[in-house]
Amino acid sequence: MPKPTLYTFAKSSWSASARIARIELDLCDVIEERQLDFLKAENMSPEYIRMTPNATIPALSTYTHVYRDTTEVIDYMASVSGVKAAPRTRLTAVVHHSSIDAKFMAFAARNEKELAAKAALGPPLLALTSRLPRIRVYAASPQAAPFSEKYATKIADVEQLLAIYTFSAPAAVMSNFYATSQAVHDAARVFLYETLPGAIGSGPFVAGAVPGVDDFHTATWVVHAGFLSGGQRTDDIISALERRYGEKLSEKLTRFLRAWMMRESFKKTYVGGLIW
């Protein structure tokens, strides 16, 4: 029987959650990892969509089942691991909520100045311009016919975001994008300064002395927020977030981050620096 396969992308924050969990739960010899190239839109191939219709990364396939999002993937890992990890609570659903959506945060900009700076930075615009032609190639293939509606929706979404990033979208679209970005920024602040610290008891992790399932999800979201705030290395996270939000992080959140920085799973996942 083949080993389960974990599909990831090295620069994906939610893939980082699954990769950390795979190490923490001692499953590296049990679950194989296969990296997809998100910039080449490999998650939009007809074969991948046939396996996981939402085209999400990470995903995990076993001999009998496919786990199609980060929550399902990590729940499965926790269920088959000999390492005991506290099960997730509603905190995991909160960190995956659309109000603080990690994917949107990667592109969000609250005004024209912020958008221009982000476009000049490179990664968001590179993701759009490199993925769009490849998605179109996939969409034109005979194998994509059963998924034509999904491809049409995805192409339209990428085209609109590309229009925003090149300042060619209609004024109403730009205004809505800025307003949504501001709302996500405000909600992220609440999560960082209220929700997550409030979920940490004696710490340093949400689950206590050792990480639990909630911790696998929340840690990488915070790192992602740190990168988007200007951090480049793991030791930049705290100062970058404090600059972005204009306020010192709570002692609980600082301890949470420093505890993660000491763990091998975290070091291995972020060996090349922060990821978006």
- 201-211 per-position pLDDT tens digit: 999 999 999 99
* 82/176 same-domain check: no
> Which of 36-40, 57-61, 96-100, 121-125 has the lowest average pLDDT?
121-125
User: Furthest-apart CA pair in the chain: how many Å?
Assistant: 56
86 neighbors 208 (Cβ within 8 angstroms): yes
For residue 232, pLDDT over 90 is answered with no
For residue 223, pLDDT over 80 is answered with yes
Domain of residue 37, CATH code: 3.40.30.10
Mean pLDDT score of the chain:
96
Segment 169-173 mean pLDDT: 98
Name the pTM for this structure: 0.95
Residues 6+ apart with CB under 8 A from 272: 10
Q: Which of 66, 88, 110 is the last residue of a domain?
A: 88
Q: Which of 88, 121, 152 is the last residue of a domain?
A: 88
* 79/100 same-domain check: no
For residue 199, pLDDT over 80 is answered with yes
Segment 110-127 mean pLDDT: 91
| pLDDT the model gives residue 11 | 87
* 105/241 same-domain check: yes
* 186/262 same-domain check: yes
For residue 274, pLDDT over 80 is answered with no
For residue 1, pLDDT over 90 is answered with no
For residue 112, pLDDT over 90 is answered with yes
Convert the pLDDT of each residue in 57-109 to its tens digit: 999 999 999 999 999 999 999 999 999 999 999 999 999 999 999 999 999 99
Residues of the domain holding 143: 93-269
* 78/137 same-domain check: no
Sequential DSSP letters for the chain: -PPPEEEE-TT-HHHHHHHHHHHHTT-TTTSEEEE--GGGTGGGSHHHHHHSTT--SSEEE-SS-EE-SHHHHHHHHHHH-SS--PPP-HHHHHHTSGGG-HHHHHH--SSHHHHHHHHHHSHHHHHHHHHHHHHHHHHHSGGGGGGHHHHHHHHHHHHHHHHHHTT-S-HHHHHHHHHHHHHHHHHHHHIIIIIHHHH-SSSSBTTBSS--HHHHHHHHHHHHHHHHTT--SGGGHHHHHHHHHTSPPPHHHHHHHHHHHTSHHHHHHTTT----
Task: Report the alpha-carbon distance of residue 168 to residue 161 in Å, rounded.
Answer: 10
Owner of token pair 């994008």: 177
Segment 127-147 mean pLDDT: 97
Q: What percent of the chain has pLDDT over 90?
A: 92
For residue 276, pLDDT over 90 is answered with no
Convert the pLDDT of each residue in 2-26 to its tens digit: 899 999 998 899 999 999 999 999 9
For residue 256, pLDDT over 80 is answered with yes
* 185/219 same-domain check: yes
For residue 205, what are the β-bridge partners? 208
